[in-house]
């Protein structure tokens, strides 16, 4: 398996502000992903974080709202911009490890927007 850390683990933010979530993995991997888990719901893929190029966003998610960086093979950030209460969710990053067909997940960042 993989060791994945996320910062912060949780945060409470005010409407209209932005929060940047960091994801650090313990090995150089090609694929990193960002997911959202809204309260009581399943996981939805936000985007694939590509090293050295723009992220690939899924339908319903846009770069202006969720800018993503991936400066190297072991680190990525997701920013939730201009937050509203509807953005209250758990945000998780994942990576493919030594087995490229299996994704391993970080512990998640629990975001509450007031």
Comparing CB distances to another protein, the nearer of 81 and 112 is: 112
| H-run or E-run covering 69 | strand 68-72
Question: Do 25 and 95 form a contact (C-beta atoms < 8 A)?
Answer: yes
81, 88, 82: which is closest to 109 by C-alpha? 88
One-character DSSP codes across 10-40: EEEE-TT--EEEEEEESS--S-EEEEEE-TT
Comparing CB distances to another protein, the nearer of 28 and 82 is: 28
The least CB distance from residue 16 to another protein, in Å, is 27
21 binding another protein? (CB under 8 A): no
95, 97, 98, 101: which is closest to 24 by C-alpha? 95
8 binding another protein? (CB under 8 A): no
103 binding another protein? (CB under 8 A): yes
Candidate list 48, 51, 79, 88; residue touching another protein; CB under 8 A: 48
Q: Is 76 exposed, middle or buried (0-12, 13-18, 19+ CB in 10 A)?
A: buried
86 binding another protein? (CB under 8 A): no
Candidate list 11, 31, 75, 79; residue touching another protein; CB under 8 A: 31
Positions that interact with another protein (CB under 8 A) = 1, 4, 6, 31, 33, 41-45, 48, 56, 92, 94, 96, 100-108, 110
């Amino acid at each position: 398996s993989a060791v994945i850390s996320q910062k912060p683990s949780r945060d409470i933010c005010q409407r209209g502000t932005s929060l940047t979530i960091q994801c650090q993995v313990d090995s150089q991997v090609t694929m990193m992903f960002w997911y959202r888990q809204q309260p009581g719901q399943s996981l939805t893929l936000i985007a694939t974080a590509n090293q050295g190029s723009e992220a690939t966003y899924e339908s319903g998610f846009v770069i202006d709202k969720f800018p993503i960086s991936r400066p190297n093979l072991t680190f990525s950030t997701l920013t939730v911009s201009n937050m509203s209460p509807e953005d209250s969710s758990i945000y998780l990053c994942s990576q493919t490890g030594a087995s490229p067909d299996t994704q391993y997940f970080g512990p998640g960042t629990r975001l509450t927007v007031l």
